[in-house]
Amino acid sequence: MIKKKSKSKGKAVVKKKPKSVPKVKAEKKATPSKKGKSKPKLKKAASKANSKIVNTEKPKSAPKPEPKAIKRPKRRDLSKVSPKTKLLIATHNNNKRTEIRTLLKDYKAVVVMNLDDLPIPPPMIIEDGRTFRQNAVKKAVTISRFYDGLVLADDSGLEVSALHGKPGVRSARFARKNATDKENNKKLLNLLSKIPEKNRSARFVCHLALAHEGRLLDSFEGVVKGKILFSPRGSNGFGYDPVFVPDNYSKTFAEMTASSKNRISHRSLALKQMKMSIGKYL
């Protein structure tokens, strides 16, 4: 019996060992959970490693500053100028603009501009008048509807007696549309090639018109008489200046200095009358 008991005890001991197996298995089963729990640790470690790599990167160099834009002359801010102190010369002709600005230099407080100074170009004016006055008035009145200041328009040209007043209002486009001064002078001299000196009388005419808000304020005309030469002389001035000699003078307009010409020219004679009128409306 004792042996049996001892056997049973032995068996019990043996039986106890298998009972411990599940514990081992349980421990083995638990190992995957441990491995599963270790995955986040690996991720954290990887993320830390990545963060370390990012941190160890060299800081990026600051972006290079963009090249500075070329400074261009600023357009005059006309919005801050009172309309009463602005005078617009209704022309794209730079020679006329320069001449009129010079003649109006006494008005130092007045901003003198031409059509190229406007931010929005006015409508194109078709000069279809039969006289210089009609064209000047049309330009001044029409453009003054699109501008808040005073508008001064000019129409001028040469009238030759032997050609019955031609080129007249077509002086700028005598040879063709958009003709050069050289082309116009060449055509004029060809037409007068057989005309003797005593019959080569001519005159320069300038008509100025002043308008405001679609209403004509004043208009004046200046005339200078002279004759047409057989060939051009001088390099100053513009238009028909090289072939025109005013009465009582031996030089052409193109041979005179600007100051000498401005004392006797058709444009200066008209502007001298207009200056008093401009003063009234400023």
At residue 237's C-alpha, the angle toward residues 232 and 241, to 5°, is 40
- The four Cα atoms 252, 257, 260, 263 give a dihedral, to 10 degrees, of 90
Coil/strand/helix, residue 132: helix
240 vs 174: CA distance, rounded Å = 11
Annotation says 155 is catalytic: yes
Check: CB of residue 162 under 8 Å from CB of residue 230.
no
Check: CB of residue 99 under 8 Å from CB of residue 263.
no
Beta strand pairing call for 86-89 and 111-114? parallel
Q: Within 10 A of 103 (CB to CB), how many other CB atoms are there? A: 19
Torsion 170-115-264-237 (CA) sign? negative
Helices and strands: H and E segment counts in the chain: 6, 6
Q: Which of 154, 155, 181, 241 is catalytic?
A: 155
**Beta bridge pairs of residue 202:** 160, 226
Exposure string over 181-214, b if 16+ CB within 10 A, otherwise e: beebbbebbebbeebeeeebbbbbbbbbbbbbee
**Residue 92 carries which side chain, given as an amino acid letter?**
H
**How would DSSP label each residue in 98-120?**
HHHHHHTTT-TTSEEEEGGG-SS
Catalytic residues: 155
